[in-house]
Copies of this chain bind each other. A is one copy, B any other.
Amino acid sequence: MSLAHGRTYLAIPGPSVVPDAVLRAMHRASPNIYEGELPDMMPGLTADLKRVARTDGHVAIYICNGHGTWEAALANTVAPGEKVLLLSTGFFAQAWGRVVSARGIEVDILDFENGGTFDLDRVEAALKQDSAHAYKAVLAVHVDTSSSNRNEFAPLRQMLDDLGHPALLMADCIAAMGCDRFEMDAWGVDVAITGSQKGLMCPPGCGFVFFNDKAAAARARLDRVSVYWDWTPRAHPEAFYQYFSGTAPTHHLYGLRAALDMIHEEGLENVWARHGLLAKAIWAACEHWGQSGPLRLNIADPSLRSHAVTSLAIGKPDGRRLREWCASEAGVTLGIGLGMARDDDPLSEGFFRFGHMGHVNAHMILGLLGSVEAGLAALDIPHEPGGVSAAARVVSGV
């Protein structure tokens, strides 16, 4: 007998839960791609996308995943042989770095420890050292989906301005745009990227690159940009097909339209606040359990934690055991530990993650935490009982 039979909850850090309204919008006959409803909806769609990124700049929509947007951002701004500075705080920054190198771009990496955040002194030193302004861009990840840390971008902009360094500031917002507060224009980010499958609540399959005029100017100085990644016709098309360099992602566009309607109907500030309070509920539960056992939040400092994903350490092999129990006995799929491998735990079996991005409410999160508490008990993993009740108290707002 298993208690998992019912509506399961996929609590991995992306793809996130797709709302019924989005799935319903995607369940349709193929539309005409030359005229009519679909082409007509594009101006509103791009405007509403930019509202999510809090930018008045430009947006290019790509048929790709997040990794594709890594390429796109670089393809339009940095030529092979040029150089960038990468501020690494985790697994995905490292992965972006490999994409940079494979494009023939030189990359200097400031490696803050996995789960750490920027040491601004070290960043400043690196930028000062680059008096020739070789760095065409400073690359960093807003939220690392692996460690669940969150980084601040406004101080980087301040520093670049203070130093008069012309490098573009690029933010990978794949994990948490539409979840954690992100204000592209106010924070001075020049290029921001994200995908459809996390805070935007759609299936994977679309990537978005937001850029401002300064970044557009960088594009203009390049000799050559491959047609597929070129953001200029995508952002300012003369014909519908140019939005997508070819055939449009028809069904995703309808899903995205539904998702943006939901976000803006709720209000972006409310969306962010919802993610914030649900994250606090999760932290309260985890800290409660950890009082009498091995469970630890991966990011110790609450001000550096994402509101969209939470990484946890519990010791090998209990991360894996807990995931397996929750899936088979409670109907909840937890995220695997990613990029946490150590010598005694090469498969990151001592870690796991909660995704809580996008279409998530109190019911889903409290059910998640209740399931984990049940799993801890079932597997005889030491913990202080009562975590889910602690989370309920946070949810109550009392």
Type the 1/0 row for A358-391, where 1 means its CB is closer than 8 Å to any CB of B: 0111111111111101111110100001111101
Instruction: Tell me whether A23 is interfacial, beta carbon within 8 Å.
Output: yes
Query: Given A6-B360, A366-B366, A366-B388, A1–B277 Cβ distance below 8 Å?
Result: yes
- Name A1-33 residues within 8 Å CB distance of B: 1-10, 12, 14-20, 23-24, 26-33
Q: Which of B226, B278, B363 is close to A99, meaning CB atoms less than 8 Å apart? A: B226
Stretch from A131-139, A211-219, A246-254 contacting the other chain: A246-254
In the complex, the answer to whether B6 meets A228 with C-beta atoms within 8 Å is no
Query: Given A30-B18, A63-B205, A395–B366 Cβ distance below 8 Å?
Result: no
In the complex, the answer to whether A204 meets B5 with C-beta atoms within 8 Å is no
In the complex, the answer to whether B370 meets A398 with C-beta atoms within 8 Å is no
In the complex, the answer to whether A12 meets B28 with C-beta atoms within 8 Å is no
> In the assembled complex, which residues on chain B have CB atoms less than 8 Å from the CB atom of A2?
266, 270, 274
Instruction: Tell me whether A115 is interfacial, beta carbon within 8 Å.
Output: no
Instruction: Tell me whether A245 is interfacial, beta carbon within 8 Å.
Output: yes
- Name A261-279 residues within 8 Å CB distance of B: 262, 266, 269-271, 273-274, 277-278
Instruction: Tell me whether A68 is interfacial, beta carbon within 8 Å.
Output: yes
Smallest beta-carbon distance A103→chain B, Å:
5
Smallest beta-carbon distance A6→chain B, Å:
3
Copies in the complex: 4
Smallest beta-carbon distance A271→chain B, Å:
7
Instruction: Tell me whether A104 is interfacial, beta carbon within 8 Å.
Output: yes
Type the 1/0 row for A224-253, where 1 means its CB is closer than 8 Å to any CB of B: 111110100000000000001111111110
A361: nearest chain-B partner, CB-CB = B6
Smallest beta-carbon distance A377→chain B, Å:
4
In the complex, the answer to whether A17 meets B28 with C-beta atoms within 8 Å is no
Which range contains the number of A residues in contact with the other chain? 35 or more
Instruction: Tell me whether A48 is interfacial, beta carbon within 8 Å.
Output: no
> In the assembled complex, which residues on chain B have CB atoms less than 8 Å from the CB atom of A54?
none
Query: Given A247-B195, A362-B4, A393–B367 Cβ distance below 8 Å?
Result: no
In the complex, the answer to whether A395 meets B360 with C-beta atoms within 8 Å is no
Instruction: Tell me whether A67 is interfacial, beta carbon within 8 Å.
Output: yes
In the complex, the answer to whether A5 meets B227 with C-beta atoms within 8 Å is no
Q: Which of B274, B278, B392 is close to A377, meaning CB atoms less than 8 Å apart? A: B392
6 extra interface residue pairs, beta carbon distance < 8 Å, beyond A63-B63, A63-B205: A14-B247, A24-B28, A26-B251, A331-B363, A363-B370, A364-B367
Q: Name A residues whose Cβ lies closer than 8 Å to a Cβ of B.
A: 1-10, 12, 14-20, 23-24, 26-34, 63-68, 70-71, 80, 98-99, 102-104, 195, 197, 203-205, 224-228, 230, 244-252, 262, 266, 269-271, 273-274, 277-278, 329-333, 335-336, 359-371, 373-378, 380, 385-389, 391-393, 395-398
